[in-house]
Amino acid sequence: MNYFGFTANIIDACMLLFGKGGKFLNARGNRLCFLIDIFCLTYWFFMDINRGLYSQGFSCIISICICIYGFINWGKKEKLQKEILKNKMTPTKLK
Query: pLDDT tens digit string along 36-63?
Result: 999 999 999 999 999 899 999 999 999 9
Write out the E strands in 1-95.
none
Instruction: Give pLDDT, residue 24.
Output: 94
How far apart are alpha carbons 73 and 77 in whole angstroms?
A: 6
Between these two residues, 20 and 3, which has the higher pLDDT value? Answer: 20
Stated length of the chain = 95
Supply angle C-alpha 63, 76, 38, rounded to 5. Answer: 25
Between these two residues, 76 and 88, which has the higher pLDDT value? Answer: 76
80: pLDDT strictly greater than 70: yes
Chain mean pLDDT for the chain: 87
Please report, for the chain, the start and end positions of each structural domain, with discontinuous segments joined by +: 5-89
20: pLDDT strictly greater than 90: yes
Band of pLDDT at residue 28, cut at 50, 70 and 90? very high
Q: What is the pTM of this model?
A: 0.77
